[in-house]
Every structure is written in structure tokens, then in C-alpha cells.
């Protein structure tokens, strides 16, 4: 076997596009190629002889070093994502692979590590994610993206806000986004589910009480308005509160003060109130179940969150988000939904909305450890719907894509550039799909 001379070996290493370095058994760097210089910003002459942890300062150097594990176990590492620090102190995402170095007798004399710069890939991933993500709200639907543009303006104001939408649509995520964007972001965010508490308990939760106010009041209790002072109080399911409590809540919103049970002096409230409901408050006002004056007081700014069945184009990216998160939490390697499973999801009405979708993915993870999530892994209600007598009317992915393009074109008055932007594709791709599906455009 012909062995390469030292300068020939260095030329070979320098021709490799990925960074490569080798260490001896004392973790001193013995080789450092040109790509390693470029990625880290550390010249070769400075790196040679140094401890590898002093050069890379990676997030795994102190514990969990991949190269150390390889030399200890003999098992190589393949494409492990980590972050290293450049010479300028800038974090660099890289993918590393490791292996042992042995002499002709098989004795371990050190290790070798290659690393690939993922900066461009990571920037593209963040750019794509950023187009469809807004403060943990994930959507490519045109109604939701219009909402994304309004939220910063809503956050700047101090007006009371009402968020309406079905259960499970993500109303609390929108409230938290408003709080995070607002001048009150460094102040408390307090949430109360009005539908989960009986009326008497809810009153004490909101306004608090002083010691001795009633038999069991052995000490003072701060109410949610007090805890939220200077910040945001989120009243979820406000349509469930009683008429008596509606009167007291109206006083807080009008007079900016409230009464603590057992106290003799009213307290001022510097709190922005954001309410949410899955009921139609306008209808409740008509039936007399909700006070009209309170409705107008909380309905200064109104946000309507569309249900998942009206934004089914969000299902694939929401599925990807939930799968990635559960893979991290459970240490699994589930690749995604099979086409059959995705078609089943796209044809489901989703009465539980995004929360139901998340629960369906989590349920599938129980039966699916790796690979694709197949129809057999889905909860029972999806198996019934896909295997029932109406399965012949299920839409194909192409039919759903055609419907989505038609609806988006109509929404944008058939402006192809705006439509392509909202769909996340280029104008040429959109034109090709219009021709493919025979979609007619107005003159």
C-alpha cells in the first residue's frame, strides 16, 4: 500500500470542500485544512498544536463531545448538527462526522472530524419558516397572513380587544403575540379561563379578597387584576360569565378601578384586557344572555380567527411542526405523513381545529416509532372516515391544490404575483399549475 507524503496528504485535505481536522490522543490538532480555516476564521498555523476545544468552542465540547465518544466507543458519528464559534465569536451551525485514526497495527493514534457549514441552509430554513410563522402562530393562509400584518398595530394600542374563534384555533397564541409586541411586554401576562370556574370563585379570582372578608379568608389574596397590573389580563371564554359578574367587569373597563372583597377603598387598574370566546356574542346580546354595554366595551378591536377547515393549506406545515417537536421530545425519527394519511387529514372537517390536529399527531406517535405515519397509525375516527361509504368522494391532493389556487387567485383579484407570493411559489410555477388544471382567468 502506497502512503501519501505529509505535503501530499495536506493537498488532498485542502481540496475537500468540508472542514477537516485531525487530533492526536492528547486532543492536540495535527491537521487543519483550508475549508476549516474558511469556516472557523482560524489560520492553520494557529490551529495546529492547539486543543480542539480551544479552536472550536462548540456547544458540545465540555460534555457530549462527538469525537471523544467515537474514540471511546469505536462508533463513528454521521452528520450530527451542532454549533461552533468562529474566531470573531459568531455562532456557526455545522454538521459533523467523526472517525478514529489507527496506525498499521490497528492502534488508535487519534481521531478525525469533518464539518460542513450549514449557515446558508439555516438561513434559508429560517426565511421559509419566517414566511409562515408569527410568534409561534404557523399559517400560510391569506386570512391569517393579513392578521399577521395587523397584530403589531393592535399591539401598539391600549384598547380592549375581543378575539372570536372556535375552540382550538389558537386564540391564546394570538393574545400572547399581542402582549409580546406591545409596550407592556415586560409586564405580567395573566390568563383566566372564565368557563372553568363557578361564578363566586371567578369573582374572587379576578378581584381578590382581604383577610376576614368571609369565614375561610384567613389571609389576603391578590386577584388577577392586581397580578396583571401594568400588563395584560386575558379573559378566555368570556361568553360564559354570569350577568352579575358582567356588571362588575363593566365597571373595571369603564372606570379603570375595581373593588376587592372585604376592602373599603376601590383600587385602580392599569391593565389591558383582552377577551376571547368561542361563542357568538352578538347573538347572546340579542337573546339577553350578554350585556350589550359590556359587549361594546370589550369589542373595541375585534379579531376573528378562521377555523382549520377554512385554512386547510396550513395542515401540511402544522403537521411538520408537530412532528418535528414530538421527534425532539420523544427521541423518535418519524419522517412525516404518508400521502394516504395526508389526504385523510385534508378531507377531515376538524371540529377541534389545530388542537385536534396536534392530538391526532401525538396519538399517531404512540403507534409509529419511525418512518412514515400511515393510516393504520391514525386515531380511530380517521380510520372510520377513510374507510366508510363516503370515501369515494374524498378529494385528491391535486384537486385540493387546484381549489386552493382558485380561491387564492379570486382573493387577490386574479393578480398572479400576489397569488404566487401568498402560496409560497414563484410566478412561473403558478402559471404552470394554472395551465395544468385548466383554471380560467378573466380577461
Is the predicted pLDDT of residue 357 greater than 90, yes or no? Answer: yes
Domain with 269 in it? 139-306
Q: From residue 1, how far is each of 6, 104, 107, 431 by CA, in Å?
A: 16, 11, 18, 59
The model's confidence at residue 299, banded by pLDDT at 50, 70 and 90, is very high
Q: Is 356 found in the same domain as 426? A: no
Q: Which of 28-37, 195-204, 277-286 has the lowest mean pLDDT?
A: 195-204
Q: Is 262 found in the same domain as 323? A: no
CATH number of the domain to which 427 belongs: 1.10.10
* Domain-located, residue 94: yes
Q: Is 147 found in the same domain as 36? A: no
Q: Residues 102-117: what's their mean pLDDT?
A: 90
Q: Is 113 found in the same domain as 40? A: yes
Rounded-to-integer distance, Cα 284 and Cα 141, Å: 29
Number of domains in the chain: 4
Element (H, E) at 302: strand 301-304
What digits encode the pLDDT tens for the residues 384-400?
554 443 444 445 566 77
Bridge partner list, 304: 164
* Domain-located, residue 126: no
Q: Is 427 found in the same domain as 344? A: no
Q: Residues 139-155: what's their mean pLDDT?
A: 90
Going by C-alpha positions, the residue among 431, 436, 435, 438 that lies closest to residue 415 is 431
Cell 472542514 belongs to: 19
CATH number of the domain to which 315 belongs: 1.10.8.60
Which regions of 74-174 does DSSP assign to beta strands (E)? 77-85, 91-102, 108-117, 133-134, 137-138, 161-164
* Domain-located, residue 351: yes
All three cell numbers of 378: 391514525
Global confidence as pTM: 0.61
Q: Is 381 found in the same domain as 408? A: no
Q: Which of 120-129, 144-153, 263-272 has the lowest mean pLDDT?
A: 120-129
* Domain-located, residue 106: yes
Which regions of 213-294 does DSSP assign to beta strands (E)? 221-222, 232-236, 257-258, 267-268, 272-277
User: Which pLDDT value is given to residue 386?
Assistant: 46
Q: Is 225 found in the same domain as 153? A: yes
Q: Is 193 found in the same domain as 73? A: no
Number of Cβ atoms within 10 Å of the Cβ of 404: 18
User: Which pLDDT value is given to residue 126?
Assistant: 58
Amino acid at each position: 500500500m502506497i502512503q501519501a507524503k505529509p505535503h501530499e496528504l495536506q493537498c488532498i485535505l485542502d481540496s475537500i470542500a468540508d472542514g477537516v481536522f485531525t487530533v492526536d490522543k492528547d486532543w492536540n490538532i495535527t491537521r487543519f485544512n483550508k475549508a476549516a480555516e474558511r469556516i472557523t476564521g482560524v489560520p492553520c498555523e494557529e490551529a495546529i498544536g492547539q486543543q480542539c476545544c480551544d479552536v472550536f468552542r462548540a456547544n458540545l465540547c465540555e460534555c457530549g463531545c462527538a469525537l471523544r465518544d467515537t474514540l471511546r466507543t469505536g462508533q463513528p458519528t454521521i452528520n450530527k448538527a451542532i454549533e461552533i464559534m468562529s474566531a470573531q465569536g459568531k455562532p456557526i451551525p455545522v454538521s459533523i462526522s467523526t472517525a478514529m485514526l489507527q496506525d498499521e497495527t490497528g492502534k488508535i493514534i487519534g481521531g478525525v472530524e469533518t464539518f460542513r457549514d450549514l449557515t446558508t441552509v439555516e438561513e434559508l430554513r429560517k426565511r421559509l419558516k419566517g414566511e409562515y410563522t408569527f410568534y409561534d402562530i404557523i399559517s400560510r393562509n391569506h386570512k391569517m397572513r393579513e392578521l399577521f400584518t395587523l397584530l403589531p398595530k393592535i399591539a401598539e394600542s391600549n384598547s380592549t380587544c375581543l378575539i372570536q374563534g372556535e375552540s382550538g384555533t389558537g386564540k391564546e397564541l394570538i393574545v400572547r403575540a399581542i402582549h409580546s409586541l406591545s409596550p407592556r411586554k415586560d409586564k405580567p401576562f395573566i390568563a383566566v379561563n372564565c368557563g372553568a370556574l363557578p361564578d363566586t370563585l371567578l369573582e374572587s379570582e379576578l378581584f381578590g379578597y382581604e383577610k376576614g372578608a368571609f369565614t375561610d379568608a384567613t389571609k389576603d389574596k391578590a386577584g388577577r387584576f392586581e397580578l396583571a397590573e401594568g400588563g395584560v389580563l386575558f379573559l378566555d371564554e368570556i361568553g360564559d360569565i354570569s350577568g352579575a359578574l358582567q356588571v362588575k367587569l363593566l365597571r373595571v373597563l369603564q372606570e379603570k378601578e375595581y373593588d376587592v372583597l372585604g376592602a373599603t377603598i376601590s383600587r385602580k387598574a392599569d391593565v389591558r384586557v383582552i377577551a376571547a370566546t368561542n361563542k357568538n356574542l352578538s347573538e347572546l346580546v340579542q337573546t339577553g344572555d350578554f350585556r350589550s354595554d359590556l359587549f361594546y366595551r370589550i369589542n373595541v378591536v375585534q379579531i376573528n380567527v378562521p377555523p382549520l377547515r377554512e385554512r386547510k393549506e396550513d395542515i401540511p406545515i402544522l403537521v411538520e411542526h408537530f412532528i418535528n417537536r414530538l421527534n425532539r421530545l420523544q427521541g423518535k425519527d418519524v419522517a412525516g405523513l404518508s400521502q394516504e394519511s395526508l389526504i385523510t387529514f385534508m378531507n377531515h372537517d376538524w371540529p377541534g381545529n389545530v388542537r385536534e390536529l396536534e392530538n391526532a399527531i401525538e396519538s399517531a406517535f404512540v403507534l409509529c416509532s419511525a418512518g412514515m405515519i400511515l393510516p393504520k397509525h391514525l386515531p380511530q375516527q380517521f380510520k372510520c372516515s377513510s374507510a366508510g361509504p363516503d370515501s369515494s368522494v374524498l378529494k385528491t391532493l391535486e384537486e385540493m391544490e387546484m381549489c386552493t389556487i382558485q380561491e387564492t387567485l379570486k382573493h387577490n383579484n386574479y393578480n398572479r404575483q400576489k397569488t404566487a407570493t401568498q402560496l409560497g411559489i414563484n410566478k412561473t410555477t403558478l402559471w404552470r399549475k394554472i395551465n395544468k388544471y385548466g383554471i380560467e382567468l378573466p380577461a
